[in-house]
Amino acid sequence: GPTAAATSYHTFAEAMAEIDTVAARYPQIARKFVAGKSYQGRDIAGLKISDNVATDEDEPEVLIIANIHARERLTAEQALDHIARLTQGYGSDSRITQLVNGREIWIMPMVNPDGQVYDMTSDTSSGRMWRKNRQPNGTSTGTDLNRNFAYRWGCCGGSSGNGASETYRGTAAESAPETKVLANFVRSRVVGGEQQLKMFLDIHSVAELVLWPFGYTYSDTVAGAMSADEQATHRAIGRELAGTNGFTPEQSSDLYITDGTTIDWTWGQYRIFSLTFELGGGSFYPPPSAIDGEVQRSREALLRLTEYADCPYRAIGKQG
């Protein structure tokens, strides 16, 4: 039946319990996986959703992560909602049934658990406005996980070398355990020499944007790294998805230059068509009464992103 209206944000424990509940309720199509541990030893976990879920089938794979920035609370709700839609719709909604039968969908709702717990266990009604992980760095705390990935890490003034900065890039690419866990998971999806992941989504908040690579350069195309067709495909998918939720579609660097981000790495290293969403809600802490409305805005976009995994070039009318 329909998901009950949200009345509060999931704590880390509640999100993990929901993953366990879904895996127990839909054992044929949902299976919990733990990709690794955070700096403080918490699980970095998710659900694989597919028919014959215990078997690695030759189906296009999709990875969706959320809450890499601790205070971006709505993002975990968006990921958990996509899990609920896919599992509850299976067998009754033909579009969702076909999607689950024809894809292997990996969804990780809280990939920065230490930061999420720290942000949420504050004494105020909202949060601590915390962004980074909780790894000490000299005199300060926290690496910005979305500046710690290995593609063109620290190249271009899109991050900081100051440990106190909100965009501290870490001491080296993948110096944060959470980054290493996520990168190792993506590396593990190279099977028979081919990266099985075909679409990647990193869910952030709060700006109502759909972003595509690259962030490290203002250039739309980069020889050997982003061809005109590859850029056109990212742009076409980005614009199509933004048309469904009313967000603004643009290249990541149109917002500002970033380096070491998730999507620059997943595309730059593995040619996984990659997007970052910046959800709405007006602040990092929309009132719980706003959760359902904001999450519903991007439901169609997440379904279409999942659908494109068999042939992203379909977005520009090109075969494979």
Ligand X SMILES: NS(=O)(=O)N[C@@H](CCC(=O)O)C(=O)O
**In terms of CB distance, is 72 or 230 closer to ligand X?**
72
Examine residue 159 and tell whether it contacts ligand X (CB under 6 A): no
Of 87 and 179, CB closest to ligand X? 179
Instruction: Choose the catalytic residue: 59, 61, 230, 278.
Output: 278
- Stretch touching Zn ion by CB under 5 A, among 49-57, 199-207, 250-258, 296-304: 199-207
Instruction: Mark residues 36-65: x for contact with ligand X by CB under 6 A, - for none.
Output: ------------------------------
- Using the contact rule CB under 5 A, the part of the chain among 27-35, 37-45, 182-190, 197-205 near Zn ion is 197-205
Using CB under 5 A as the criterion, what x/- string covers residues 59-88 for binding Zn ion?
A: ----------x--x----------------
Q: Which residue is closest to ligand X by CB?
A: 204
Please, which residue, 69 or 198, has the CB nearer to ligand X?
Answer: 69
Q: Which residues pair with 219 in a beta bridge?
A: none
- 3-state helix/strand/coil string of the chain: CCCCCCCCCCCHHHHHHHHHHHHHHCCCCEEEEEEEECCCCCEEEEEEECCCCCCCCCCCEEEEEECCCCCCCHHHHHHHHHHHHHHHHCCCCHHHHHHHHHCEEEEECCCCHHHHHHHHCCCCCCCCCCCCCCCEECCEECCCHHHCCCCCCCCCCCCECCCCCCCECCCCCCCCHHHHHHHHHHHHCEECCEECEEEEEEEEECCCEEEECCCCCCCCCECCCECHHHHHHHHHHHHHHHHHHCCEEEEHHHHCCCCCCHHHHHHHHHCCEEEEEEECCCCCCCCHHHHHHHHHHCHHHHHHHHHHHHCHHHHHCCCC
Comparison of 72 and 114: residue with beta carbon closer to Zn ion: 72
Taking CB under 6 A as the criterion, the residue among 84, 155, 222, 255 binding ligand X is 255
CB 209 within 8 A of CB 283: no
10, 42, 48, 69: which one binds ligand X (CB under 6 A): 69
- Contact between residue 259 and residue 156 where contact means Cβ atoms under 8 Å apart: yes
Question: Could you say which residues in the range 171-190 bind ligand X, by CB under 6 A?
Answer: none
Residue 204 within binding range of ligand X, rule CB under 6 A: yes
Out of 261, 266, 274, 306, name the contact with ligand X by CB under 6 A.
261
Query: Residue 238 or residue 312: which is nearer to Zn ion going by CB?
Result: 238
211 is a contact residue toward ligand X (CB under 6 A): yes
Contact partners, residue 81, CB within 8 Å, separation at least 6: 3, 295, 296, 299
**Which of Zn ion, ligand X, none lies near 152, with the C-beta cut-off 5 to 8 A by kind?**
none
Min separation Cβ 299 and ligand X, Å: 20
Is residue 278 annotated as a catalytic residue, yes or no?
Answer: yes
* CB of 69 vs Zn ion, minimal distance in Å: 3
73 binds ligand X (CB under 6 A): no
Q: Is the dihedral of CA 280, 4, 129, 112 positive or negative?
A: negative
Query: Which residues are annotated as catalytic?
Result: 278
Site residues (CB under 5 A) for Zn ion? 69, 72, 204
Q: Which residues are at the interface with ligand X (CB under 6 A)? A: 69, 72, 146, 204, 211, 215, 252, 255, 258, 261, 263, 276, 278
